Amino acid sequence: MSETSRERFQSTLCRARKIAVLTGAGVSAESGIPTFRGAGGLWRRYEATSLASPEAWQRDPGLVWEFYNHRRERALGCAPNPGHHALAQLEAWWREAGRVFTLITQNIDGLHEQAGSRSPVRLHGSLWQVRCLSCESVTENRDVPITPAFAGSGSPDPEAPARRFTAAELPRCRCGGVLRPHVVWFGEALQESDLAAAAAGVEGCDLLLVVGTSAVVYPAAGFVPMAKRHGALIAEVNVEPSAISGLCDVVFTGGSGAILPSLLDVTPARAP
């Protein structure tokens, strides 16, 4: 009798010495954080992706901060879901067994860390870090609102009155410089160290699990063909086909919060 996708995935998983996981916005959807290209990807009349750019910042840094302040406010009210917890548990089992586990995320919401994932590779930065445009220092910042001027701002309602924030109302570094969100915007390069850590995690992995990404943004999506080239089993969890589904050996269709807990309930020692 032919092996089911689940059997194939779990038998490869329990034998795997090195696994990598790539996540996108879909893994946080069941926590209440909308994805970028799905329903809810709009903030007022803006595509979420259009505000995540140096051009948008040049045009109106106050508007960009209003958008990120809104995303921080929302993320603060969200908790990791069973999908995040299942990945953190799998990592713990793999580390305990002295095997290699690398979580690579495109998400900036911090929910993987909240679920107990240890040092995920954050390709696109973090909502909870800011960077000074003068001294370039990067600091943790959990102030919501980011400055008092942003209190009550950020409504996603397209009819919400547009406000112009003055330079004095923008968040400032101790050096006096303006702080921007420490996230990677479109057209900006990723941190070399994060790219190297992700590549090292994918290189030679036995299994790559791809969860909740449309896989249209590079270099993140490029890790899938990279793993495929060296013969890793490629598995995907998504509610619908993505740009890399064709590269996958096994595909599990549905919400990651519903699928991952039982799919990943495999310890290195115990064969399924």
Among 10, 12, 35, 117, binds ligand APR (CB under 6 A): 35
Query: Where does this chain touch ligand APR (CB under 6 A) — which range of 14-22, 84-92, 192-200, 212-220?
Result: 212-220
Per CB under 6 A, does 38 bind ligand APR? yes
For residue 14, state whether it binds ligand APR (rule: CB under 6 A). no
CB-wise, 78 or 239, nearer to ligand APR?
239
Report which of 255, 191, 179, 260 is spatially closest to residue 220, judged by C-alpha positions. Answer: 191
112 annotated active-site: no
> Given candidates 71, 103, 214, 233, which one binds ligand APR under the rule CB under 6 A?
214
Residue 224 vs 237, nearer CB to ligand APR: 237
Q: Tell me how far apart the alpha carbons of residues 4 and 255 are, in angstroms, rounded to a whole number.
A: 19
24 binds ligand APR (CB under 6 A): yes
Residues paired with 101 in a beta bridge: 19
Instruction: Identify which of 33, 11, 1, 25 has the alpha carbon closest to the alpha carbon of residue 212.
Output: 25
* Residues 194, 123: Cα–Cα separation, whole Å: 6
Interface residue with ligand APR, options 12, 26, 115, 208 (CB under 6 A): 26
Pairing of strands 125-132, 121-122: unpaired
Minimum Å gap between C-beta 265 and ligand APR is 18
Q: Which residues bind ligand APR (CB under 6 A)?
A: 24-26, 29-30, 35-38, 49, 106, 124, 212-214, 217, 237-240, 242, 255-256
Catalytic residues: 124
